[in-house]
Amino acid sequence: MDTDSVYTRSELMVAAASRQIADGEVVFVGMRLPLLGFLVAKSLRAPNAVGVYELGIIRDTVASEPILTMGDLPNLYRSQWLADTRDTMSLLQQGLVDVSFIGGAQVDRFGNLNTTLTGSSVNITTRLPGSGGACDLACLAHRHIIIMAHERRRFMPRVDYITSPGYGDGKGWRESVGLIRGGPSAVITTMGIFAFDHETCEMVLTSLHPGVTVEMVQEQTDWPVRISTELSQTPLPTHQELSTLRRFDPNGYWTGK
């Protein structure tokens, strides 16, 4: 594989995120690294993917100029649909979104995310930004992908508050609370990539980023990490992926060191 030896950890995560998108999928894009991951996928391997942006923008083409946020003018120019948040959320409700990207302050072994508070509802230690549209994405997309920094204080046995549901307390939980589709399919972190076991719905480490060991991952995870029997190394970003990514983020605003 044609690779570039110099890259940042964020660029590696963007490349990994882009590989999660299949051609023809409808993608609720998100901000920062997911935004770039969609643009890389759309440019290189998923030309028929459609991007849905929370502001009400839908695009089946790539913006002609770099964008830092979904609301930048080049992203609005010649978009296929320029509506509002209610319209894009209605696509989720109808089951028309294949995949979404979200993150959080805390995640647990079943992929539940917290962006609401730390502590408890009666003894709040930190008030976090809240859900925004993240709960909708976690509940209504056919699958969602989690992207976040890998730190022990974030990877908890049980999140303090479930803002965006993963698999609750295990298999069958989503169905029991009326979530008829969806769930997290992957977790891309600064250390590796996790999938979810079909039987237990627990997070399983499937890939380590270059230079990272299982012991390092366990040190930064506050529960016993399950390891895939086919554990591999995350493929390096290709030269083509990096050059495409840097065209969209030329100053390294989201992906620089």
pLDDT in tens, 50-90: 999 988 999 999 988 888 888 888 888 888 899 999 999 99
Superfamily in which the 102-179+190-230 domain is placed by CATH: Glutaconate Coenzyme A-transferase (3.40.1080.10)
CB 176 within 8 A of CB 135: no
CB 67 within 8 A of CB 75: yes
Structure tokens at 65: 């100029």
What are the distances in angstroms from CA 122 to CA 40, 117, 161?
A: 44, 11, 12
Structure tokens at 181: 């589709």
Q: What is the pLDDT of residues 179-213, one digit of tens each?
A: 999 999 999 999 999 999 999 999 999 999 999 99
CB 147 within 8 A of CB 33: yes
What share of the chain in percent tops pLDDT 90? 79
Which pLDDT does position 2 carry in this prediction? 60
| C-alpha dihedral (92, 95, 97, 103), degrees to nearest 10 | 60
Confidence of residue 3 (pLDDT cuts 50, 70, 90): low
The mean pLDDT value for 95-110 works out to 95
Instruction: Say which amino acid occupies 158.
Output: R
In the chain, where the domains are located: 1-97+235-257, 102-179+190-230
Q: Is 198 left (phi over 0), alpha (psi -120 to 50) or beta?
A: alpha
Q: Name the fold adopted by 1-97+235-257.
A: Glutaconate Coenzyme A-transferase (3.40.1080)
Q: Distance between CA 46 and CA 253 in Å, rounded?
A: 24
The mean pLDDT value for 27-37 works out to 91
Write down how long the chain is: 257
Fold: same for 1-97+235-257 and 102-179+190-230: yes
Whether 54 sits among the annotated catalytic residues: the reply is yes
Catalytic residue (choose from 11, 54, 202, 241): 54
